[in-house]
Structure 1
């Protein structure tokens, strides 16, 4: 199951996190333990081994279960639930003071760091609480980043991860998947599209790590998105993107203004 919201609970028939005892039925309850990545990024997998997301440097992972060399838990920043290899995690989490504010460094864009402790390298940092103003400009800084399903970094990202990264950089609520992003802001008519609007297509079935397709409007006629067809983050006319998505079985487009 894909969990797209920060309120996602760690529950299974046999085990649940202690915070839901008395609210959710399970055979046993256990407190979570907090971990972070031992490297710049770690893959989050579903039960079948498909990559559904990634944990960036400095993000907390609440682990409930360790089994067969993997931790099962939740990414605290965006609520994604899945498995991470034990070797990719280290216990504990610090108190970050800055965010990596530009792509291309040794740590991924939007990683959380404490410059007095973390070896962040020669990267652009922005204090937490300070944000970018232009969602579309952040997206443009990602042009030519490869498309990669489940990815959240400059080495590869999917469509919803691009939108999530831009939302985070601008200090907005940032669901991981299209379904959650389609609930943000307010609905806008097709003939009123403006720069920075979210352009979204839900899919009735989805797949491992995706629930639709996400893009950001550059202007009334152009979007920027991580495109599987193009193989990268690119600009495309809104009409062409809409035609392509509908031809692939996606629902009618949704436009949301933050």
Structure 2
């Protein structure tokens, strides 16, 4: 089983795995939501970052031990460890942050004290709307930075372009740092399309394209360990270690550069 998607460790596992894995106990899990702006999802307590989860996203808590929680993210099924302090009760979000980043304020005015910085993709519960600021249980957010969950965006490439200049961060999922698969996941999720967390898993998204198929806006190009999104027939956008940022690059130039530097050809093309 893929460790990233298997809700089990040596101490506990979800009941759906009973008879399939060995664990100290089996549980139905505990529903919770993130109450920190961005939290690393680690491969083990005090370990390395696999991915990140954002404010308001739901997780199933499988195990708690010595201040750490082993969880499975509702967004993509990814499993890992995060600090218990990042978790709160399960929320019922109504809106998604669709600006590249925004602030949570303690009052509905631009001069108010900021309480937290939230990235595109964060989930919030709006309890009062109608003005320049939307009120949530935690504070106020500029209304123009939010969109109801039942009104997804319709241009994934345009969402990806909002992140231009964002610094590259391995395993990153926020405006504060992204990797290639984090960028693609953020763009597709904002458009209401389910998307796994890592580039190898994302090769199951949408439909496969022939090598000679004309490139359309939003198409995905995959190399071993990397994914990029087309913004036009000759240009792509990707979070990449070459520029250490989210940047545009010519498709032909990118393919030639990666082959020359790393010997990696394009492995697959998909249309979400």
Q: Retained in 1: the 8 A contact 2:167–2:178?
A: yes
Cα 1:105/1:96, change in 2 over 3 Å: same
Per-residue CA deviations over 1:32-62 (Å, capped at 9, x if unaligned) read: 1222222212111112711111111111121
In the TM superposition, what is the alpha-carbon distance from 1:147 to its structure 2 partner? 0.8
Q: How many Å apart are 1:2 and its aligned residue?
A: 6.1
Query: Could you say which residue in structure 2 is the equivalent of 1:98?
Result: 95
Q: Secondary structure at the match of 1:163?
A: helix
Could you say if the C-alpha distance between residues 189 and 230 of structure 1 is closer, same or farther in structure 2, counting changes exceeding 3 Å?
A: same
Using the TM superposition, give the Cα deviation of residue 152 of structure 1 relative to its aligned residue in structure 2, in angstroms: 0.8
Q: Which has the higher contact order (CA 8 A, sep 6+)?
A: 1
Which aligned runs of 4 or more in structure 1 are off by greater than 6 angstroms?
none
Looking at structure 2, the residues matched to 213 and 95 of structure 1 have their Cα atoms a distance apart, in angstroms, of: 34
Partners of 1:245 and 1:28 lie apart in 2 by 46
Partner of 1:137: 158
Q: What is the match of residue 11 of structure 1?
A: 8
Match of 1:83 among 76, 81, 85: 81
| 2: CA distance, partners of 1:222 / 1:51 | 30
Q: Aligned equivalents of 1:57 and 1:249: distance in 2?
A: 39
CA contact (8 A) 2:221 2:269 kept: yes
* Alignment RMSD: 2.0
Q: Which has the larger radius of gyration?
A: 2
Secondary structure in structure 2 of the residue aligned to 1:173: coil
Q: CA deviation at 1:158?
A: 0.6
* Aligned residue-pair number: 245
How far apart in 2 are the matches of 1:198 and 1:177?
Answer: 13
Secondary structure in structure 2 of the residue aligned to 1:255: strand
Length-normalised TM-score, structure 1: 0.87
**TM-score (norm: length of structure 2):** 0.83
Partners of 1:73 and 1:156 in 2: CA distance: 22
Structure 1 unmatched runs, 5+: 203-211
Map of 1:187 onto structure 2: 208
Partner of 1:161: 182
Shift in Å, 1:127:
0.8
Asked whether 1:52 is paired with 2:74, we answer no
Q: Does 1:119 align with 2:139?
A: yes
Structure 1 Cα separation of the partners of residues 140 and 3 of structure 2: 30
